[in-house]
Amino acid sequence: MGENVPARPRTVLVIGGRVETVRKARDLGLRVVNVQRPEEYRPEHAELVEAALLVDYTDWSVLGPLVTAAHQVYGFDGVATITEPGVEPAARVAEALGLAGNSPHCARLMRDKAAMRAHLAGRPGAVAAAVAGDRAGLGAFGARHGYPFIVKPVDAAASFGVRRVDGPDAIDDAWASIVRLRGSTGHPFATYFPVGDFLMEEYLEGPEYSVESFTFDGRHLLLAVTEKATHTTFVETGHALPARLAPADDHAVRACAEEFLDTVGLREGAAHTEVKLTPGGPRVIESHGRPGGDRIMELVDAAYGFDIESFTVGWAGGVLTAPERAPSARAAAATRFLTCEPGRVTGVQGVDEVRAHEGVIGVDVAVPVGGAVRPLGASWDRVGQVLVTASDTTAAVTLAERLAEKITITTGPDPAPDPDGT
């Protein structure tokens, strides 16, 4: 008689991400193989994974052969990522191994802002856009589409390099900024997003929101609409959800995001779609085929009880099933980012008091005493954040702002380099 062979545990390939992503996969009973850059691999990873592939996973000539060989050994049931640099590699792995996932074309549209705008051109609500080839091109775009307009890197993140061009007299400064930032290597994402082409887009007037969603085999579950607070540099200074919108506007923002996800062909997983509610209706700014940054997925979990990170690995690995409908809000949640003057940090006060508040779900201080604070030019220049939950959004925002003010970060002379590292 034949022996009973134990069932092989379901295995998920996790590309990039934090230790908590792997831990959540393990808690769901999944076996994990982690692809990680060597410098980002931690001892905590080793305790949780079956195996690790320590490579530059954005290089398909390396990643492709390795995951194909690893698949023969471990038998991947799915592939998942929560990181921006992992979106395209995950799609290519899914296609190569015949796993459920988004197509490489969809992944590229969610990463390449110029490709996304070209894909949407001619559709209702399309935003005028063109690649900035030279200084004359900036002037021609302004003459054709009006001022102000936006200039931003085609392939970047964290609001890095985003600039508003208010009129013809601002063209020279805008072009000089483009020339200076091209090829810059001083920013934290330079390894993943070397700055190359820049995109010109018509400026959209109105408040900004994001739609957090999760797609199950082509069915989009719209989890939350998040309202934004932003700096004049376009860097986000806070988030809150559920957004304080009239029902008709909430419906319109959600419908806009859902139509966009259909248009680009998103089939699986988390998305974070940024929308401006203009006088003419909602219009997409950009979207990402992964959870929103700034710990937004923790705000969603606190307010709605939906753990986007767990679903990212659990749905890909086949151990979580799709909910029939999006959950209703059971509370509200908000975050506000900490601010201080640029320079060298001389002291940090108030953290323990804030962390002990019953409404606080997280406190981060990103700079140690002696660390450098740069002018606010991108999201990575922020110095920390406070996350809270409360009974409603107004109460959550008020609490987050009040507690953020209780944390004092003092700085002295010796300012850090400019945000582009030059």
pLDDT at position 407 is: 96
Q: Would you state the structure tokens that stand for residue 31, as one six-digit string?
A: 């076996």
According to CATH, the topology of domain 331-422 is: D-amino Acid Aminotransferase; Chain A, domain 1 (3.30.470)
Tell which CATH architecture fits domain 11-99: 3-Layer(aba) Sandwich (3.40)
Q: For tokens 């996932």, what's the residue? A: 101
CATH entry 3.30.470.20 includes domain 204-330: yes
Pick the closest to residue 283 from 208, 217, 183 (CA basis).
208
What is the helix, strand, coil percentage profile of the chain, to 5?
35, 25, 40
Same fold, 204-330 and 331-422: yes
Give CA–CA dist 375/377, Å, rounded: 6
Kindly tell me if the per-residue pLDDT of 143 is higher than 50. Answer: yes
Mean predicted confidence (pLDDT) in 87-104 = 97
Mean predicted confidence (pLDDT) in 329-355 = 94
pLDDT at position 315 is: 98
pTM reported for the whole predicted model: 0.91
Kindly tell me if the per-residue pLDDT of 235 is higher than 90. Answer: no
pLDDT digits (tens, 9 = 90+) for 180-232: 887 666 666 656 666 678 999 999 999 999 999 999 999 999 999 999 998 76
Class of domain 128-202: alpha beta
Neighbours of 181 (CB within 10 A): 23
pLDDT at position 2 is: 46
Task: Provide, rounded to the nearest whole percent, the portion of the chain with pLDDT above 70.
Answer: 91
Q: Domain spans of the chain?
A: 11-99, 128-202, 204-330, 331-422
* Contact partners, residue 59, CB within 8 Å, separation at least 6: none
